[in-house]
Amino acid sequence: MWRRCPSPSDNGSTNIFETRMDDIVKAALKKWPNVPHCYGWLALDARGDWYLRDEPTQAAGPFPQSKGQRVVHDKLKDFICRNYECDERGAWFFQNGPQRVYVELEASPWVMGVQRTADGAGFTIATHIGEPVGAVRAAWVDEQGRLFLDTDAGFGIVRSPDMAVAADAVDANEWPVHECQADSLPARFGFLLSPQGAMRT
């Protein structure tokens, strides 16, 4: 299992889960505990895709204006997903051996996939790392019409290809729906879109 970072909506509860971090990564952290953190080289878009961003990509602009190279190698994607965590600031990172690689986020730390069950009678919701989200507390719609879900797993945007199914899920489950401004969500739900930008300020 993985760890959910606390957010303002938790009312003081930390909701800490056992981490998914690989044993080899834990061992590397113990052996080399003081490796400098890395910023700007990895990003997560609103469809749940990872992007590698080299120095020219970063120099060309912030994410997602300048995206970089999409990660397509399945084993690498799985490795990133298993070692995806957040710190006390709500800054998300990939623990790459002893080095913490902070992640630039397009929209939110989680990206939700919503599908109908095989019998068509219900819905399944999972994060971009393939974990079920548990209970849904509420849905949020921003000024661009994007749908977000506040869940036991954390806060995340719904993938655009799943919007029609997600709308049916919202209606069927009678989840509360709130309107919001996208730029208010990081503070409300306790995450940083750009750890690299926060480091520079």
* Per-residue pLDDT tens digits for 14-72: 333 345 677 777 776 675 667 789 999 999 999 999 999 999 999 999 999 999 999 99
* Per-residue pLDDT tens digits for 172-192: 999 999 999 999 999 999 999
* Per-residue pLDDT tens digits for 100-124: 999 999 999 999 999 999 998 899 9
- What pLDDT, on the 0 to 100 scale, is given for residue 195? 96
Span 138-154, mean pLDDT? Answer: 97
- What pLDDT, on the 0 to 100 scale, is given for residue 32? 60
Amino acid at 159: R
Question: Rounded to an integer, what distance in angstroms lies between the CA atom of residue 166 and that of residue 169?
Answer: 5
Q: Mapping DSSP to helix (H, G, I), strand (E, B) and coil, where does residue 70 land?
A: strand
Q: Mapping DSSP to helix (H, G, I), strand (E, B) and coil, where does residue 75 land?
A: helix
**Confidence grade of residue 199 (pLDDT, cut at 50, 70, 90):** confident
Domain ranges of the chain: 8-107+192-200, 110-189
Q: What is the DSSP letter of 66?
A: S
CB-based contact 98:28 (threshold 8 Å): yes
Measured in whole angstroms, the distance separating CA 109 from the mean position of its chain's CA atoms is 2
- What pLDDT, on the 0 to 100 scale, is given for residue 64? 97
- What pLDDT, on the 0 to 100 scale, is given for residue 31? 58
Please give the CATH architecture assigned to the domain spanning 110-189. Answer: 2-Layer Sandwich (3.30)
Q: Mapping DSSP to helix (H, G, I), strand (E, B) and coil, where does residue 195 land?
A: helix
Question: Rounded to an integer, what distance in angstroms lies between the CA atom of residue 152 and that of residue 87?
Answer: 18
CB-based contact 82:22 (threshold 8 Å): yes
**Confidence grade of residue 137 (pLDDT, cut at 50, 70, 90):** very high
